[in-house]
């Protein structure tokens, strides 16, 4: 398929998250509830690597992880393409040392480098044909000796998704309140596959699974 088809899919993905922003926290399974066991385990894995200096969060959404990063870092820069989600993130972060940036992550470029680059539920939204370019961006964001922390979903999640066939990248259908349906990219990596793909690009990753749904990966440039 053409690049235009892929751009259309990515634009619809942004539209989905803009439309869903107000209901996201109530509907995403890894939510902000204290009884979310998966979140607690993922947070413990993140905290084990703290404290951090400067942190860049890609695709911060409504700030579920932004507030946690702010506790563990000197400063946080959080980037997202959806202004509606950023508005919620701003309210959640309050007076914490957080700078918000509205930008498309497929065209945005950093103005500085960071000790940690973090993203949750974003890697699975990167089309396979842009995987290498995305990790080039991540490398450009890292200070010398910097590291990456990734949270995302495992292939078992595919059993509860609604596939959208015939798309320019693996995609699913997502419905929001009111019944509107959007397409979104969804690429689910098994730990061994992710390690192999990153290894081909000069990265090394330690991947930990959390239950049947999630993984956390600590990633560094190979020395």
d(CA 167, CA 182): 12
Average pLDDT score over the chain = 94
The tens digit of pLDDT for each residue in 163-214 reads 999 999 999 999 998 899 999 999 999 999 999 999 999 999 999 999 999 9
Asked if residue 66 lies in contact with residue 89, where contact means CB atoms within 8 angstroms, the answer is yes
Q: Is pLDDT at 89 greater than 90 in this prediction?
A: yes
pLDDT number for residue 37: 67
Angle between helices 3-27 and 83-93 (to 10 degrees): 40
Q: Which of 14-18, 27-31, 35-39, 160-164 has the lowest mean pLDDT?
A: 27-31
Residues 110-122: what's their mean pLDDT?
97
Task: Give the per-residue pLDDT at 33.
Answer: 44
**Residue 154 belongs to what domain range?**
3-221
Indicate whether 155 pLDDT > 60: yes
How many degrees, rounded to 5, is the angle at CA 55 between CA 50 and CA 59? 115
C-alpha closest to that of 137 among 223, 59, 44, 34: 59
pLDDT at residue 35 is higher than 50 = no
Long-range CB contacts for residues 47-53, cutoff 8 Å, separation at least 24: 47/72, 49/116, 49/147, 49/149, 49/218, 52/115, 52/116, 53/114, 53/115, 53/116
pLDDT at 30 over 70: no
If you write DSSP's letter for every residue of 138-195 in order, what string do you get?
A: HHHHEEEEEEEEEEEE-GGGGGGS-B-TT-SS-EEEEE-TTS-EEEEE-----HHHHH
Q: How many domains does the chain have?
A: 1
**Domain CATH for 126:** 3.40.50.150
The pLDDT assigned to 27 comes to 74
Q: How much is the pTM? A: 0.94
């Amino acid at each position: 398929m053409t690049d235009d088809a892929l751009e259309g899919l990515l634009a619809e993905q942004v539209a989905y998250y803009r439309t869903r922003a107000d209901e996201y926290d109530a509907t995403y399974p890894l939510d902000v509830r204290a009884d979310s066991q998966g979140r607690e385990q993922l947070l413990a894995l993140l905290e084990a690597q703290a404290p951090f200096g400067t942190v860049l969060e890609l695709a911060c959404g409504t700030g579920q992880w932004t507030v946690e990063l702010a506790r563990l870092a000197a400063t946080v820069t959080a980037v997202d393409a959806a202004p509606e989600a950023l508005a919620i993130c701003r309210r959640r972060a309050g007076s914490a040392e957080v700078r918000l940036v509205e930008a498309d992550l497929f065209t945005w470029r950093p103005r500085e480098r960071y000790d940690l680059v973090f993203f949750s539920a974003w890697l699975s939204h990167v089309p396979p044909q842009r995987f290498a370019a995305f990790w080039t961006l991540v490398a450009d964001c890292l200070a010398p000796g910097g590291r990456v922390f990734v949270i995302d979903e495992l292939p078992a999640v595919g059993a509860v998704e609604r596939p959208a066939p015939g798309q320019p990248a693996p995609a699913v259908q997502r419905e929001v309140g009111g019944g509107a349906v959007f397409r979104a990219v969804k690429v689910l990596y098994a730990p061994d596959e992710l390690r192999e793909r990153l290894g081909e690009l000069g990265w090394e990753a330690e991947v930990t699974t959390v239950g049947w749904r999630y993984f956390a990966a600590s990633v560094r440039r190979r020395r």
